[in-house]
Amino acid sequence: MISRSRLVTRRLYFLTRSFVLQSYSAIRPFSILTMSKALESKFQTAIDSGKVNGAVICAINSKGDFAYNKVLGQRTLLSGEKRPQQLDDLICLASATKIIATIASMQCVEDGLLTLQGDLSNIAPELAEKKVLMGFSEEDDTPLLEPAKRPITLEMLLTHTAGTSYDFLDPVIGKWSSKYKPKDGGKKTVEDMFIYPLSHQPGESWMYGSGLDWAGRIVERVTGNTLEEHLYERILKPLGLKNDAQFQPVTREDLRERLVELNPDDPEGHGYAVMGEGASINGRTEGCFGGHGLAMPASIFIKIIQSLLANDGKLLKPETVDSMFQHHSSPEAHAGQRAKLAGPLGSFFRVGIGEDIKVGHGLGGVLTLEDVDGWYGSHTMTWGGGLTVAWFIDRKNDICGIGAVCAALPLDGETKKMATELKDVFRKDIYHVYDEWKGKQ
């Protein structure tokens, strides 16, 4: 006859064993997925080469029952001490900031503070005053300027069709900046930094630029809050997320302690390992730059884009999210985008998408306009940040993700090439991981 104490012990044993097995079952898919190991081994090989310090990869589906979070490698503290990189470490998002500024802009549209096609002249008179730079006179090298034919709209800013090109990407605008942009060393606002003329008539072509920086300022003007305040109140809080984000410069000590880019090679944490020499802009900015300035953990960024994937209504109305994933540009502007994709910067603007795939532009990023076999579904939105960050939202296949390579400085040619290859590994191989996981359900 079994004693009462032994019976209780056996019951506890089986209850404990059952709990352990259930817990193991919950995590088991990732413990046995061969594709996840293959993905991680490619990143680890790069880390072992010394060209990459670490990486963070996050992917999730709309329900969250598929959630892949992997952190590899080490980061170096300012003291020189090395420690394993953590999932809640902050990364420099660079241009991945743009999707955050897009969400904020569309919230203002929903609130009745802005419209997509409305004239922004009263809100942003600096934009209304801009003329279009057609080139330079052959006689005296003075700029040839013509008036804008139409007002700039929020939709143009969100789709890079306003003509607000970056001067470091457009040689004609770059020449104007080198001749006329003030050279003083003071801090620059969005208005100061992007003082140069338009590169093309608003709405008539496409060129990557400062549209989202301007959109962020417009959000600030119509709401009366900084973009950082808006981020916390309207994006992080509704998702139940901690306020673990700050626009450059990162000054909060609790965040600086976790800022991957803050290290002996980048003692101010400007993000040189992400943006190259372009990161110097983060030491010269004043205020929030919605086009490039945010530092945030990948674990928070993935939750934000998951909300768009799930279309859960927490950040934006379902119909608003649906509209973001539609192609938004005129036939002229779309032709301009195609021309840029076929040009010298085409591989950068295609963000890993093949030349044979039709693409357009949604509100927040580049869109695939057709299915890509075994990969992106039609109307997948994607973009990146600097040289090392990539993200995507694939509503058709129900998956979104962010991958960030933490490159070692200096950023030589081999390191840049490796970072580009690893972003492609992330974009493609995470689908293999997801497919294998689905096959085991």
Distance of CA 345 to the CA centre of its chain: 19
The rounded distance, in Å, linking the Cα atoms of 306 and 321 is: 12
316 CB contacts (<8 Å, ≥6 apart)?
Answer: 103, 106, 107, 110, 308, 324
Integer Cα distance of 6 and 1 in angstroms: 10
Q: Where are the beta strands (DSSP E) in 225-378?
A: 246-247, 294-297, 359-361, 366-368
Token code pair at residue 386: 């600097």
Closest CA to 180 of 165, 196, 191: 196
This prediction has a pTM of 0.92
The catalytic residue among 51, 98, 303, 340 is 98
Please report which helix (H) or strand (E) contains residue 289, including its range. none
Phi, psi of 381, deg, nearest 5: -100, 140
Radius of gyration of the chain (CA): 23
Contact indicator for 193, 281 with CB cutoff of 8 Å: yes
For tokens 């945030």, name the residue.
Answer: 296
For β-strands 366-368 and 359-361, DSSP reports them as: antiparallel
Using CA of residue 439, residue 396, residue 235, residue 230, what is the dihedral sign? positive
How much is the pLDDT for 44? 97
Read off the tokens for 104: 């904020």
The single residue of 68, 208, 376, 434 carrying the catalytic annotation is 208
Catalytic residue list contains 98: yes
Q: With residue 181 as reference, give the H or E element that holds it.
A: none
Contact 262, 78 (CB under 8 A): yes
User: What is the spatial distance between Cα 41 and Cα 251, in angstroms, rounded to a whole number?
Assistant: 35
Contact 146, 197 (CB under 8 A): no
- As given in the structure block, the two tokens for residue 49 are 């080469």
62 is catalytic: no
Residues contacting residue 400 through CB under 8 Å, at least 6 positions apart: 59, 60, 61, 302, 305, 306, 308, 309, 391, 392, 393, 394
Amino acid at 395: R
**Secondary structure of residue 393 in the 3-state scheme:** strand
Question: Any long-range contacts for 126-129 (C-beta under 8 Å, 24+ apart)?
Answer: 126/191, 127/152, 127/162, 127/164, 127/214, 128/152
Q: Residue 149, Cβ neighbours under 10 Å: how many? A: 10
Whether residue 416 lies in the annotated active site: no
Spell out the per-residue pLDDT of the chain, length 441, in tens: 434 443 333 333 333 323 332 222 333 344 447 889 999 999 999 999 999 999 999 999 999 999 999 999 999 999 999 999 999 999 999 999 999 999 999 999 999 999 999 999 999 999 999 999 999 999 999 999 999 999 999 999 999 999 999 999 999 999 999 999 998 778 999 999 999 999 999 999 999 999 999 999 999 999 999 999 999 999 999 999 999 999 999 999 999 999 999 999 999 999 999 999 999 899 889 999 999 999 999 999 999 999 999 999 999 999 999 999 999 999 999 999 999 999 999 999 999 999 999 999 999 999 999 999 999 999 999 999 999 999 999 999 999 999 999 999 999 999 999 999 999 999 999 999 999 999 988
Rounded to whole angstroms, what are the CA distances from 94 to 185, 292, 389?
22, 4, 8
Q: Which of 36, 95, 177, 329 is catalytic?
A: 95
Distance, in Å, from the CA atom of 220 to the CA atom of 231, rounded to the nearest integer, reads 11
152/127 Cα distance (integer angstroms): 7
Residues 6+ apart with CB under 8 A from 370: 357, 358, 378
Q: Tell me, what DSSP letter sits at residue 270?
A: -
